[in-house]
Chain A
Amino acid sequence: MEDLIGTTVTSTVAAIENLTLPFYLYEAEEDSYPYAVYYYTPEYHSTKDGVYKIATDLTLQVYSQDFDEAFSLAQTIETALIQGMNDTHFRTRLSTTSKECVEGIWNVQFVYNIIQI
């Protein structure tokens, strides 16, 4: 079984209509707001016959100079991920949320528990 979590999250977010949000792995590659980053560490679960599921807590952070914008973008992504990644191959649910503001930049963080089966 190949880890498809990252590519599926990326393609799901890219497919959101009217969303032009720069979306990066680990850290932003350009210094403009808003943008989003995601990161995760896959955990492989095996039977004696091979890997049968990959589980992870995927962290997705939206950065913006405006809280409402950051939170709205995070919710838009949440809706897409919950709808798009709950099927025969993935189980996805929102695990935790948090918000913080550092030097005027809002960081809205949603952590998803994702299982690829």
Chain B
Amino acid sequence: MAAELGYNIAFKIGGKTLTGRTQDDFNITPITKESITKDDAGNKNQQITGQDVTFSCQGLVVLSLASGETNKLTRDEIVEMALATGPSAVYAFTYRPSSGKQLSGNCVVTGYSESSNSEDEATYTVDFKTSGALTFATPNS
């Protein structure tokens, strides 16, 4: 058995990871439709009609990147994403371990929060919800 280490799993927006990332949470919540007829004798039936797919990403607040770090989104860029509206607020994402299948599609930001105290580094949490169809397949490269 080779369990995947957490740091190998990357959530990317437009091909870029979120800077200072410490944790990514990936959730699939099935949407169910319940039915029951007299013939079911009191036993309810469930049908899956779709899924709510969400991501919650946490990290350290980083305002500027080191030279050469062009593949990361800074805190300011993440906040701008959270403040966007309309079609420009929909972002292409990928989510993938070091190998295996990749989940990809579009998403919107459903929440952003920052936390700062007098002792530690400031941190952020940004929540995403997918929009439209998703693809779950092994990428070509």
Interface residues of A (CB under 8 A from B): 46-49, 52-53
Q: Given the complex, which residues of A lie within 8 Å of B60, measured CB to CB?
A: 47, 52
Q: Given the complex, which residues of A lie within 8 Å of B21, measured CB to CB?
A: 47-49
By secondary structure, the B interface counts as strand
Q: Which of A48, A49, A53 has the most CB of B within 10 A?
A: A48
- CB of B20 within 8 Å of the partner chain: yes
Q: List 22 A-B contacts (CB under 8 A).
A: A46-B7, A46-B22, A47-B20, A47-B21, A47-B22, A47-B59, A47-B60, A48-B6, A48-B7, A48-B9, A48-B10, A48-B17, A48-B21, A48-B22, A48-B24, A49-B7, A49-B17, A49-B20, A49-B21, A52-B20, A52-B60, A53-B121
| A-B interface pairs (CB < 8 A), number | 22
Name the CB-closest residue of A to B20: A47
Interface members, chain B 8-24 (any A CB < 8 Å)? 9-10, 17, 20-22, 24
Q: Given the complex, which residues of B lie within 8 Å of A52, measured CB to CB?
A: 20, 60
Q: Given the complex, which residues of B lie within 8 Å of A49, measured CB to CB?
A: 7, 17, 20-21
Shortest C-beta distance, B58 to chain A (Å), equals 10
For the complex, what is the distance from the CA of A52 to the CA of B7, rounded to whole Å?
14
Q: Indicate with 1 or 0, residue by residue over B55-97, a CB within 8 angstroms of chain A CB atoms.
A: 0000110000000000000000000000000000000000000
For the complex, what is the distance from the CA of A53 to the CA of B59, rounded to whole Å?
14
Shortest C-beta distance, A2 to chain B (Å), equals 16
Q: Given the complex, which residues of A lie within 8 Å of B6, measured CB to CB?
A: 48
Known: A46-B7, A49-B17. 19 other contacts (CB 8 A): A46-B22, A47-B20, A47-B21, A47-B22, A47-B59, A48-B6, A48-B7, A48-B9, A48-B10, A48-B17, A48-B21, A48-B22, A48-B24, A49-B7, A49-B20, A49-B21, A52-B20, A52-B60, A53-B121
